[in-house]
Amino acid sequence: MKLITQICTFSLLIFGSKAAVDRNWWKHATMYEVFLKSFKDSNGDGIGDIKGVTSKLDYFVDIGVDTVWITPYFPSSGADGGYDITDFYGIDSTYGTMEDFDELLREMKRRGLNFIMDLVINHSSDEHEWFQKSIKKIDPYTDYYIWVDPKGYNQNGEPIPPNNWVSIFNFTRPSSCWTWNEQRKQYYFHQFGIKQPDFDLRNENVKKEVKALMKFWLDKGVSAFRVDATPFFMEDSLLRDDVHIDALARWAAGTEDGFSYRLNHPDNIGFLNDLHLFLRQYDRKNKKETQSVMMAEAYGTIKVIMSYYGTAKMPAAHFPFNFRITTLKKYYDAHEMVDYLNVWLKNMPQGAAFSWALGNHDQGRIFQRFNKEYNYILLALVTMLPGTSQIYFGEELGQEMFDFAPQRAKDLWVERDHFRNPMQWENTLNAGFTSAAEPWIPLHPGYWNLNVEAQKNQPSSTLNYFKDLTTIRKTDIFKYGDLKLQTISKWIMAFSRTYNKSKYITVLNLGMESSIVDLHANIQDIPSTLTIAVASPNSGFTKGEKLSSTPNYPNLPVLRPHSAMVLTY
């Protein structure tokens, strides 16, 4: 039976010379998100903290991670998991002290690890000093936030909001994102919760504040910024009503009529360009050997997301996070998967840097939409494709979500706590996460069996499979190599990375049944024998094993369902 082969080639010249790549570490970083409250508790209060992260730095090195993104550690009012900040220059006492933070960065630098700070600049907490002064119209803070007069007053003399915009935290049950402040006699705007007033990012004084706080943390040793909530930075200056009151719900569902006058405004790009130029100036002034970077949390249509790269003349974010893999919702065959990935690859601007995310603190744990074996495919995709690879803590283990009792949740969206449950380190009290009687939210009850220590000692564990992937990911071929995506058969997908006449071929069985892998019939210039560099535990193969690529059945390899292997020669 003749096999249909689809080949897509991308020359990854974006990486340039080795010298440029060494400076631009972020273009091939293996990034790990630490949800701080759930990673490691050092003082026995049941909450993860900075010293806890410091105590586990060798773990990152061991599993091949070189870049760590830590969720907000700033003083907060506690309304939104740390994303409602009361002081952009401090450390929340729950997580430690500034001395603890300085120690963390020193120890990371000593191990060659990069630190990514969560830059939350769309809003602050309503308890922030700036907002309290803005209420009182104390300059220069008077217009730091978005204040608007009411549209009018109803028959009871009550103010009417300026328009029909609704809060992102309430788009399933629309409620206004305008809250009346009786003292100032105006509405303030909040894209998110009522305790998270939005900054007016068009205000020049606010822009100066943003650059000042970036400089403060860069001087501390921060390597990069993960820019939070980028699509919500700017709003329509005319405050026009959205056509649909549920515009955000439509947008979140991916419908074409999800346009909102307060989402992905074109002025966002100019604002990011200003910050991008600031980072360039900072690096030049301080003669930095490595580049300071901005990574944007961006959502929207593919065209909108690509706009956050900016242009050669007007660069914006160094890259927007690519949630393409994160948003998979069904089992794709090989042709569908190639097409799905190509939506991103074919729309990228010339010279742009790649990125691939597997999950984060808002996305959930993707592999729980599928069977457990599918995690092997997802890990191979996010690590073997070119560019920055980002995983969420515990995904290297296959850690699972836990739908515990709602009364134990702390987040305003209960469901988010279900995938923020603590890291499972070992088979001891509270999985080695804390010595407290109980952690801040419940652990998954299966931690006794699924934990770091158990998997470290199992050669066929998910953790050791991930380590094998990150080991070869550090080689030149995965930093500079070309990419070819191919369909070998309906359910077998392959993609090759080539550099200096060396090649790695990642093979995925996306199907529910074992399938023959006939590489020689579909991939040119490969020898008759290939070596397995990495094999998923369920593949039926082992690392170092030799495989035939010639079409001499039954000598051709048969790959088990939902498994992966990486071949080389």
Per the structure block, which two tokens stand in for 347? Answer: 């729309």
Q: How far apart are alpha carbons 249 and 260 in whole angstroms?
A: 10
Beta bridge partners of 503: 498
Q: Annotated catalytic, 242?
A: no
Q: How far apart are alpha carbons 356 and 29 in whole angstroms?
A: 11
Contact call for residues 518 and 547 (beta carbons, < 8 A)? no
Residue 182: other Cβ atoms inside 10 A:
8
Which helix (H) or strand (E) segment is 216 a member of? helix 204-220
Helix, strand, or coil (residue 220): helix
Which of 297, 395, 400, 417 is catalytic? The answer is 297
* Tokens 């293996």 belong to residue: 30
DSSP designation for 448: G
**Residue 107, amino acid:** E
Which residues touch 536 (CB under 8 Å, ≥6 apart)? 373, 376, 377, 380, 465, 563, 564, 565
Which of 62, 228, 274, 426 is catalytic? The answer is 228
What is the signed CA dihedral for 42, 47, 52, 58, rounded to 10 degrees? Answer: 130
Which helix (H) or strand (E) segment is 384 a member of? helix 374-384
78-83: long-range contacts, CB 8 A cutoff, minimum separation 24: 79/125, 79/193, 79/195, 79/196, 79/412, 80/192, 80/193, 80/195, 80/196, 80/411, 80/412, 81/37, 81/361, 81/410, 81/411, 81/416, 81/420, 82/36, 82/37, 83/118, 83/120, 83/192, 83/196, 83/228
CA atoms within 13 A on the CB side of 330: 5
- First-to-last C-alpha distance (Å) of the chain: 28
Beta bridge partners of 547: 530
* Tokens 């963390």 belong to residue: 104
Q: How far apart are alpha carbons 160 and 379 in whole angstroms?
A: 50
The maximal CA–CA distance of the chain, rounded, in angstroms, is 85
Which residues touch 271 (CB under 8 Å, ≥6 apart)? 201, 207, 233, 234
Q: How far apart are alpha carbons 417 and 402 in whole angstroms?
A: 9
Q: Annotated catalytic, 297?
A: yes
Question: How many angstroms from the chain centroid is the CA of residue 398?
Answer: 17
Secondary structure E strands in 314-441 = 319-320, 355-357, 388-392
Secondary structure E strands in 284-344 = 293-296, 319-320
Point out the residues that are catalytic: 228, 297
